[in-house]
């Protein structure tokens, strides 16, 4: 028997950074985001030998251990090894992980990897879990066990799917789907452009700086996060109304605040591409995720999209088409018996 889990990545519109525990435990956090139809896949199947094996296509890495050996949680592939260890599997098993987007591109692929693995291993071990359970287990492994300086938005966005406002507090996480009529939803979806910059980055560096600034009560950083959270509430209303122009202008305001959180969120190349896109007609945008590289997301009315695409294409930024995902993580089982 094999279990195949499919978990979507996400694009975050507003509120990024307020999902860090250092912030939301004191002030409450809020993120507006959507899952998209680019997925991380985990395939879990029986291994009749006395070993456990993990293969990551994205990182071109392979891990194998005998059942008689303890799992080494460090070294290569620490995330999948710790997910496997969490479920306490004592039999031979093969795990294969692959993603439709490159890692380190700001689309929350690390959180989606964890969500897909948790869902697949829950199925394999016959453990009944809800989407909320999957998201919380994924957060526990990344934040508490691995000590990653990340928030909770990626795991919840991937597990639940859809276009949501996600609220974070010291006590709970609440996922509130945005109720948008079909015409407004189509306008919003068609206004979002994604361009791959060709550069990846390690978001942990930027997030560590943000977390440290919050813990040190930096008034500037905390005030910018308050502003980003307030813009998130305004953006929710613009999205529900299908108001593309307001959506784009709010995205621009949010990006200007986000750039002030840490020095490595933007750079001269990103600033140049962003200004070029704005001159060609884009209303606003941001670098997806924690910044520094990956995908450049832009909000643009239809009549300016060709000009923006051509302007950025001249600088070797490649546009990626996509649509929203409303399913979240899904698991299917396949009988592999011959």
The mean pLDDT value for 77-94 works out to 94
Specify the higher pLDDT residue, 208 or 200: 208
Identify the pLDDT of residue 338. Answer: 39
Q: Are 9 and 38 in contact (CB under 8 A)?
A: yes
Q: Are 96 and 43 in contact (CB under 8 A)?
A: yes
CA-nearest of 67, 97, 66, 71 to 85 is 71
* Three-class SS of the chain: CEEEEEEEEEEEEECCCCCCHHHHHHHCEEEEEEEEEEEEEEEEEECCCCEEEEEECCCCEEEEEECCCCCCCCCCCHHHHHHHHHHCCCCCEEEEEEECCCCCCCCCHHHHHHHHHHHHHHHHCCCCCCHHHHHHHHHHHHHHHCCCCCCCHHHHHHHHCCEEEEEECCCCEEEEECCCCHHHHHHHHHHEEEEECCCCCCHHHHHHHHHHHHHCCCHHHHHHHHHHHHHHHHHHHHHHHCCHHHHHHHHHHHHHHHCCCCCCCCCHHHHHHHHHHHHHCCCEEEECCCCCCCEEEEECCHHHHHHHHHHHHCCCCEECCCCECCCCCEEEEECCCC
User: Encoding tokens for residue 70?
Assistant: 């303890």
Q: Please tell me the distance from the alpha carbon of residue 139 to that of residue 123, in angstroms, as a whole number.
A: 18
Residues in contact with 163: Cβ distance below 8 Å, sequence separation at least 6, in sequence order: 33, 34, 177, 178, 180, 185, 188, 239, 324, 326
CATH number at residue 145: 3.30.230.10
CATH number at residue 216: 3.30.70.890
Q: Which domain holds residue 51?
A: 2-179+325-334
The count of structural domains within the chain is 2
175 and 186 share one domain: no
Specify the higher pLDDT residue, 335 or 31: 31
Beta bridge partners of 95: 44, 54
161 and 192 share one domain: no
Q: What is the pLDDT of residues 246-277, one digit of tens each?
A: 999 999 999 998 888 877 788 899 999 999 99
CA-to-CA dists, residue 300 to 48, 243, 338, angstroms:
53, 12, 52
Q: What is the pLDDT of residues 164-192, one digit of tens each?
A: 999 999 999 999 999 999 999 999 999 99
238 and 299 share one domain: yes
Q: What is the pLDDT of residues 144-171, one digit of tens each?
A: 999 988 999 999 999 999 999 999 999 9
10 and 152 share one domain: yes
Residue 10 has pLDDT above 70, yes or no: yes
**How far does Cα 174 stand from its chain's mean position?**
17
Q: How much is the mean pLDDT over the chain?
A: 92
Identify the pLDDT of residue 128. Answer: 96
Q: What is the pLDDT of residues 187-207, one digit of tens each?
A: 999 999 999 998 776 666 677
Residue 39 has pLDDT above 90, yes or no: yes
What angle in degrees, to the nearest 10, is found between the helix axes of 182-191 and 244-258? 50
Q: What is the pTM of this model?
A: 0.93
174 and 233 share one domain: no
165 and 132 share one domain: yes
Beta bridge partners of 193: 298
165 and 198 share one domain: no
190 and 293 share one domain: yes
Identify the pLDDT of residue 290. Answer: 58
107 and 229 share one domain: no
205 and 104 share one domain: no
90 and 221 share one domain: no
212 and 74 share one domain: no
Phi, psi (deg, nearest 5) at residue 142: -70, -45
């Amino acid at each position: 028997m094999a279990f195949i889990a499919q978990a979507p990545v996400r694009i975050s519109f507003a509120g990024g950074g307020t999902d860090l525990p250092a912030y939301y435990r004191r002030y409450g956090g809020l993120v507006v985001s959507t899952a998209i139809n680019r997925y991380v896949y985990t395939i879990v199947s029986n291994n009749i030998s006395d070993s456990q094996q993990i293969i990551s296509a994205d990182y071109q890495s392979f891990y194998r251990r005998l059942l008689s050996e303890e799992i080494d949680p460090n070294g290569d592939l620490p995330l999948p090894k710790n997910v496997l260890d969490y479920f306490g599997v004592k039999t031979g098993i093969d795990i294969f992980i692959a993603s439709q987007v490159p890692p380190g591109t700001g689309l929350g692929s690390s959180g989606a990897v964890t969500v897909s693995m948790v869902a697949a291993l829950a199925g394999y071990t016959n453990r009944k879990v809800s989407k909320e359970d999957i998201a919380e287990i994924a957060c526990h492994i990344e934040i508490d066990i691995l000590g990653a300086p990340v928030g909770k938005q990626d795991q919840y966005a991937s597990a639940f799917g859809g276009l949501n406002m996600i609220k974070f507090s010291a006590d709970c996480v609440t996922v509130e789907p945005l109720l948008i009529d079909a015409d407004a939803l189509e306008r919003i979806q068609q206004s979002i452009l994604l361009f791959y910059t060709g550069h990846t980055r390690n978001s942990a560096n930027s997030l560590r700086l943000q977390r440290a600034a919050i813990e040190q009560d930096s008034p500037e950083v905390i005030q910018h996060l308050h502003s980003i959270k307030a813009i998130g509430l305004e953006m929710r209303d613009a999205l529900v109304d299908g108001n593309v122009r307001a959506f784009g202008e709010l995205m621009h305001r949010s990006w200007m605040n986000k750039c002030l959180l840490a020095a490595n969120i933007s750079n001269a190349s990103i600033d140049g591409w962003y200004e070029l896109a704005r001159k060609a007609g884009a209303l606003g945008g941001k670098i997806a995720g924690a910044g520094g590289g990956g995908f450049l997301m832009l909000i643009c009315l239809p009549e300016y999209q060709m000009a923006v695409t051509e302007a950025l294409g001249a600088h070797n930024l490649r546009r990626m088409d996509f649509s929203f995902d409303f399913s979240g993580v899904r698991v299917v089982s396949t009988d592999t018996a011959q």
